[in-house]
Structure 1
Amino acid sequence: MIYGYARVSTKDQETRMQIDALHAAGVLDVRQEKCSSVGSRPELRRLLAELRKGDVLLVYKMDRIARSLKDLLLILESVQAAGASIRSLTEPLDTTGPIGLFIVQVLGAVAQLERGIIRERSIAGQVAAIKRGVVWGGRKPSLSPAQSAHALSMRSDGKTQQEVAEFFGVSRSTISRLEHPASPRLSAKRPVLSQYLPPPKIAE
């Protein structure tokens, strides 16, 4: 079965040109909707759910079906999972053949490269901030260093966490975290900033 999908961004626009081109290509079942690509696109979601092995999804242009490269890859993954394929009338994308599948793999590699570049830029920004003495991320501490020391002193004198919290006008959990600071959790998938920072100087 060959399905067609047509979309325009606003209700004032018309899908007629896309539908005519899809019908000329032999499509009998054309789904259409008038909504922004950032919307939910319910017709597209229903169509993707209906796809079966051997079906072909035909579009006039890929920007009619996807809002971004990431969105396109997710749609392609859904189409392939159903055993179907997707083809554009005006662009060299046709996953019914090996060249089209290769293009999809290239798009995936480009998306991965893009994510890597964004991550490296983020790391560079964090390293630069740390070198300038800026505390990166997290909320501003509720207590100053002097207040923190005073709070711990009050706890050692026998004051309860609630009493200390009320004295400083903070929550009890703030005092609890002060006494039992959480260890930073490191993920194997996340880079450790220390590897990007210069080694500390050792006093002679």
Structure 2
Amino acid sequence: MEDLEERGVHFGSIRDPIDTSTPQGTFSLQVLGAIAQLERALIAERSKAGIKAAKARGKLPGNPGLRERRPEAIKAVSQAREKRYLDDLIVSAQTWLPVVRQLRPQHSWDNVVRVLNRRGHDWTVERLRRAVHRLVREKLAENELLGRSPRRAPEDL
């Protein structure tokens, strides 16, 4: 937040009365952050206590279905992981997909990654291609983005 404030950027919430351009708004956001931090610490504390109690009763921590390699448990975890990946991808796409749409397929994936990373992202060619493939498969991006970029003209020697 401090980095953004130094740049003159403020946060304003549409749904909540928080606007960091005012001292009250900054305070409100800090209080909410402290509450979230407390909640994370309490969850971690309860989890550790639960694991300790389970061990005292002779139980192993974790998902028994995964420990026993049950196909339905493995499938459920895999599906949850895929859903989380897609949800995160959709949320983040608003920051990088417009650039991809502007540059692809006229420019190579290397060039697109270079532009995105100059703008503060942290992409590799493989990760970006995989992300765009996934959005195309989900019909959230255009298939044309995956087209081949034109070959570069051979440089004269």
TM-score, length of structure 1 as denominator length: 0.27
TM-score, length of structure 2 as denominator length: 0.35
**Greater share of helix residues, 1 or 2?**
2
Task: Give the greater-gyration-radius structure (CA).
Answer: 1
**Greater share of strand residues, 1 or 2?**
1
